[in-house]
Each structure stands twice: as C-alpha cells, then as structure tokens.
Chain A
Amino acid sequence: DIQMTQSPASLSASLGETVSIECLASEGISNDLAWYQQKSGKSPQLLIYAASRLQDGVPSRFSGSGSGTRYSLKISGMQPEDEADYFCQQSYKYPYTFGAGTKLELK
C-alpha cells in the first residue's frame, strides 16, 4: 500500500496567516492527490483534487501544489471557519490511502 505521511500533525495559526500542510507519498502518485477538510462532527469536504484543482465552491484562499511524492495544501489567509482537520488522499493505486491528518486551530 502507498503510505501517506502528513505533516505537521497539528498547528495553530493567527487570523490572516498563511498556512501550509505537507503530504509525502511512499512512491510517486502522478498528481492523483486530493485534500479534504473535516470540521468537528461533520463529513469531510473535498477541497482540492488532482493535486492542484480547486473543487467548485471552495474559497480561492485554498490552493494545492506538488508533484511526484511531495504535495502541499496552502491556506492564504487563515479564517476562523478554516479551523478543522485536513487530510490528504492518494487515488493513484488501490487501496486508496489517506494521511493521518492535520489539526488546524486558530491562535
């Protein structure tokens, strides 16, 4: 199985601060990567797919980048509603696998 190593496990950001979350795949995944946001007690929401494509309706402060084995999610200007858990997921090979998650809190 492809292992997805996500970092950091948690972080705290101030209002308006730019935040980055990283995901490292155990092998190349050819940009078959998605990012999800999950708020407490809710279902995950797709933010980014194909490594850098913004899902419809997602604010433009969210962006994704990367290639090969290294990918990142950037939030340009932390907002209170961005407080959540974030997960990466590869869909390059079965079984699909997720990162362990990053807990983002507002400082």
Chain B
Amino acid sequence: EVQLQQSGPEVGRPGSSVKISCKASGYTFTDYVMNWVKQSPGQGLEWIGWIDPEYGSTDYAEKFKKKATLTADTSSNTAYIQLSSLTSEDTATYFCARPNYPGIPGWFAYWGQGTLVTVSS
C-alpha cells in the first residue's frame, strides 16, 4: 500500500525557515517524482513543484522559485520541502503528492496527510 507520511505542524517566525518531510512507503521511491502543493487557509490549491528523487532534478512554479527548495533522500525514501524567508503569506497546509504513473507527473493519486505551517512572531 502506497503511503506518504508527513512531519508534524510547524511554527516559524517571520524571516526564518522551516523544513517539512514526506516519508514514502509501499513503492519504489525513485520510480516517481514527488510533487508539493500548498493550500492556504480556506483557499484553493497551488502547485509548488516536483522533484525526481532518482536524479535530484526539480521543476518549480515561478512563484515559488525563491521560496521553496525541494530535496530527496533515497536512503530513507523521504522527500523534503524547505520554505525560506517566511511571511504571513506562507501560513498554509503543505501536501506532498505522488502521481498515478511514472513519467506522468501531473495526476496526483496519492497524498500525504498535509503539514500545517504557521508563521507567527
């Protein structure tokens, strides 16, 4: 069974950074990219980007290129997202999401449970 287990809620001060993890199980980690999606309180969904764990290659939405850094550790089957220079606009729930098929990154069949990031002084 495919499972994506995310780390717990984070509180970050304005200007600081936070790092969220997403531990994958039930499939070969390097066969699929891992996407990250942001959901602001009471709002819709925004795609942040994906990482290919096998090669470490990434693709980001322009809006998140200076905000998010995606990494992956193949030894622990874990993907990470680091959010830097936090502002109140970064307060949101962040999801990792695995696509349905290898080689087709865009249909998100499996999702982590979400990690709430709260930016507060």
Q: Which residues of A contact B (CB under 8 A)?
A: 32, 34, 36, 43-46, 49-50, 55, 87, 89, 91, 94-101
- Give the chain A neighbours of B97 by CB distance below 8 A: 44
- Give the chain A neighbours of B47 by CB distance below 8 A: 89, 95-98
Task: Please report which residues of chain B, range 39-75, place their CB below 8 angstroms from some CB of chain A when the two chains form the complex.
Answer: 44-47, 59, 61-63
Q: Which residues of B contact A (CB under 8 A)?
A: 35, 44-47, 59, 61-63, 95, 97, 100, 104-109, 111-114
A46 touches B108 (CB 8 A): yes
User: Bound state CA distance, A80 and B5, in angstroms?
Assistant: 28
A43 touches B100 (CB 8 A): no
A98 touches B109 (CB 8 A): no
With A87-B45, A95-B61, A98-B47 as given contacts, are A46 and B109 in contact (CB-CB < 8 Å)?
yes
User: Bound state CA distance, A91 and B100, in angstroms?
Assistant: 13
Query: B48's closest neighbor in chain A, by CB?
Result: A95
The 5 A-B pairs at the shortest CB distance, nearest first, are namely: A91-B106, A95-B61, A43-B111, A96-B47, A49-B107
B112 touches A34 (CB 8 A): no
A43 touches B113 (CB 8 A): yes
User: Bound state CA distance, A52 and B35, in angstroms?
Assistant: 22
A44 touches B45 (CB 8 A): yes
Name the one of B59, B63, B106, B111 contacting A44, with C-beta atoms under 8 angstroms. Answer: B111
- Give the chain A neighbours of B106 by CB distance below 8 A: 32, 34, 89, 91, 96
How many whole Å from A92's CB to the nearest CB in chain B? 8
B45 touches A98 (CB 8 A): yes
- Give the chain B neighbours of A89 by CB distance below 8 A: 45, 47, 106, 108
